[in-house]
Amino acid sequence: EVQVVESGGDLVQAGGSLRLSCTASGFTFNFYAMSWVRQAPGKGLEWVSTISGSGSGTYYADSVKGRFTISRDNAKKSVFLYMSSLRAEDAAVYYCAKDSLPAAGHFDYWGQGTRVTVSS
């Protein structure tokens, strides 16, 4: 059974930093790109970042480029999102999602989400 579990969400001050973690199981982890998608309160989905299966390719939304860093540890079947210079508009539930097929770009398994709150 495929499982994706996020952790690390917290209340942080504007300008601060936070690291989110995502641990997966039930599939050949290094075959699949993994992504972070966020959802601000009462708003829609926003793609944040993707990392390729090998970790050699990383991609970011313009809204987070230069502030967020995605990484992965295939031995630990984990993906991370390091967020710095946090802003009020970064407050959201952050979902970790698995590509449906290697490098597919659509997501078949999602975690339950972890909430990031940014105080000013």
Instruction: Residue 3: count other Cβ atoms within 10 Å of its Cβ.
Output: 12
Contact flag: residue 11 with another protein (CB under 8 A): no
Which of residues 1, 41, 44, 120 is near another protein by CB under 8 A? 44
Buried-exposed string 5-21: b where 16+ CB fall within 10 A, e elsewhere? ebebbeebeeeeebebb
Q: Does 55 help bind another protein (rule: CB under 8 A)?
A: no
User: Residue 66 is which amino acid?
Assistant: G
* 16 versus 110: smaller Cβ distance to another protein: 110
Q: Under the criterion CB under 8 A, does residue 100 sit at the interface with another protein?
A: yes
**Cβ partners under 8 Å of residue 62, min gap 6:** none
8 binds another protein (CB under 8 A): no
- Which residues form the interface with another protein (CB under 8 A)? 35, 37, 44-47, 50, 59-62, 95, 100, 104-108, 110-113
